[in-house]
Amino acid sequence: MQAHYSKTRNLARMGKYVLVGLSLMLICRWILYKEGMLYTTDAALIIKEVGNRYVKNGTNYDHLPEDFIFLVNPKNKCSSNSTTQGTSFLVGVESLVLNFEQRAAVRQTWANNDLLNRLSARVIFLIGINEDAQLQKRLNRESAEYDDLVQGSFVEHFKNLTLKTIMFLRWSQCFCSTVKYAIKTDDDVLVNLRMILQVIKSNPTSGLYLGYTRAQFHVIRNPNNPYYTSYEAYPEQNYPVYASGPLYILSQDVATRAYDYISSHPTGYISSEDAFIGVIMSKLNVSVHPYTNIEINRGSSNLGCFFTEYIAVHRVAPNEMLKFWPVYETKFVTKNKQLIV
């Protein structure tokens, strides 16, 4: 009797420990989740989706790491039954984990939600990994708030910039394939989406690769130069004519063909992302549609002198964007305070 009694008590005590243990585990998990230390996206599902679609014969040539995953991935950016159904263009803004201020300025100015909705445009920021865990926490909070970050599992480095563009092409194919145009830009560029819509309307809807052209650009062979490209990666003396990096526009068919080509053919890695895309386009026989009103090097000139005629101005600091934008927007406010597109 006594033995039976103490056995029951032991069991009850053990049960208590198990319960306390479980509760502690749950609390820890919750804290980790709140602190952004657990990834909130379903990475396994994404790997499955990406893997099934793009790994060909066990080889994917797209230069992204073999175990590449999207660490942070917006949930509702392009879902087909939301208001994004008619999304006409997707803008990929290359950024760095560290550039919190730049992203905030972009969201408050040219990529504000109101304007994006009017134009059926979507903006995502393309980032890699910064090995500072504190920054990752902050980044996860930013993602939870804005749901517009696409983070790939590769380390951020100047030489890895091209990976961001490749990731953009992969992401848009996997998660935003109904989009009609993919536009690549950077977080220090002031973009004129209204004018881009005009440009798009006056150009062919397919076969489009539009941007500020770079011609006869010598391939740099000095290994100490950050723009160095090896002979193995690209043997010609000059790059083909290509669209300069601060902003270029691809119609959906061109973006798809480019990614399909990159993922199914071994290509030399060129760390200038714009030159790399140019090389791919030349393989696809797609030539650049030259567009001159993109200011790629404005020096100290006043923003107001450019912006009304240009689709993009490069090298704009966050505080400049924030100062300029409200003044610029007043041009588009009618008497009854309605914004016009």
Q: Residues interacting with ligand NAG, by CB under 6 A? A: 57, 65, 76, 79, 81-82, 154-155, 157, 159-160, 284-285
In angstroms, the CA 175 to CA 73 distance is: 10
| Cα–Cα separations (whole angstroms), residue 220 to 24, 203, 246, 281 | 57, 33, 20, 20
Residue 7 CB, nearest approach to ligand NAG (Å) = 53
In the bound state with ligand NAG, the residue whose beta carbon lies nearer, of 285 and 330, is 285
Residue 156 CB, nearest approach to ligand NAG (Å) = 8
Residue 157 · residue 80 · CB < 8 Å:
no
Residue 152 CB, nearest approach to ligand NAG (Å) = 9
In the bound state with ligand NAG, the residue whose beta carbon lies nearer, of 84 and 252, is 84
- H helices present in 203-301, as ranges: 252-264, 273-283
In the bound state with ligand NAG, the residue whose beta carbon lies nearer, of 60 and 109, is 60
Residue 334 CB, nearest approach to ligand NAG (Å) = 31
In angstroms, the CA 194 to CA 309 distance is: 11
Three-class secondary structure of residue 323 per DSSP:
helix
User: At 92, phi and psi to the nearest 5?
Assistant: -100, 115
CA dihedral 237, 242, 243, 249 (to 10 degrees): -150
In the bound state with ligand NAG, the residue whose beta carbon lies nearer, of 156 and 187, is 156
- C-alpha count within 13 angstroms, C-beta hemisphere, residue 21: 6
Residue 262 CB, nearest approach to ligand NAG (Å) = 13
In the bound state with ligand NAG, the residue whose beta carbon lies nearer, of 18 and 55, is 55
Residue 274 CB, nearest approach to ligand NAG (Å) = 18
Residue 72 · residue 97 · CB < 8 Å:
no
Residue 54 · residue 62 · CB < 8 Å:
yes
Residue 148 CB, nearest approach to ligand NAG (Å) = 16
In the bound state with ligand NAG, the residue whose beta carbon lies nearer, of 160 and 252, is 160
Residue 124 · residue 74 · CB < 8 Å:
yes
- C-alpha count within 13 angstroms, C-beta hemisphere, residue 187: 23
In the bound state with ligand NAG, the residue whose beta carbon lies nearer, of 118 and 207, is 207
Closest of 123, 171, 130 to residue 146, by C-alpha = 123
Three-class secondary structure of residue 192 per DSSP:
coil
| Cα–Cα separations (whole angstroms), residue 320 to 104, 204, 317, 327, 332 | 13, 34, 5, 12, 19
Residue 149 CB, nearest approach to ligand NAG (Å) = 17
Three-class secondary structure of residue 301 per DSSP:
coil
Q: What is the number of the residue whose Cβ is closest to ligand NAG?
A: 157
In the bound state with ligand NAG, the residue whose beta carbon lies nearer, of 125 and 154, is 154
Q: What angle do CA 176, 179, 183 make, to 5 degrees?
A: 95
In the bound state with ligand NAG, the residue whose beta carbon lies nearer, of 13 and 157, is 157
Residue 92 CB, nearest approach to ligand NAG (Å) = 18
